[in-house]
Copies of this chain bind each other. A is one copy, B any other.
Amino acid sequence: MKSNEISSSLVGKGLKVTPQRIAVFEAILKLNNHPSAEHILEYIRKTHPNIATGTVYKVLDVLADKGLIHRVKTERDVMRYDAVLDRHHHLYCIETERIEDYSDKDLDNMLTAYFKKRGIPGFTIEDVKLQIVGTFDKSN
């Protein structure tokens, strides 16, 4: 995603385009392994040394609220972030703190069909996300 595409998606959500917002968005795209706010800050400060910590948190919040990024949570860790590019689930490594995306169209279709047929009484489903917990093989 290029800088002007980022601008468009901000405008599309009725948000003002600012250098800080573009920087945060670019950082999340670049740091593609679910960076924390701190990772993002560290990366951005290379090019924007004076950006305020609170600004990065505010930008992450507004981007997440508008659905441009996702908040990802770990069992132990602080909040982490994820650009919303396509539907995917997450692989969580028990041993390390590694998180990877996992996309699986067949799985999604199966789940959609399942819940369409069954539903959950008293609850309207918006989204179903899998947390697949386990370990990455040593060779990785």
Report A's interface with B, CB cutoff 8 A: 71, 73-76, 91, 94, 100, 102, 104, 106-107, 110, 114, 118, 120, 122-137, 139-140
Contacts and interface: CB of A to CB of B under 8 A. Distances in A.
- Taken together, the copies of this chain in the complex come to 2
For chain A, what secondary structure do more than half of its interface residues adopt (helix, strand, loop), or is it mixed? Answer: strand
B135 A124 contact: yes
A71 B50 CA distance: 37
B130 A125 contact: no
Contacts of A73: 73-75
A119 to B, nearest CB: 11
Contacts of A132: 120, 123, 125, 127-128
A66 to B, nearest CB: 14
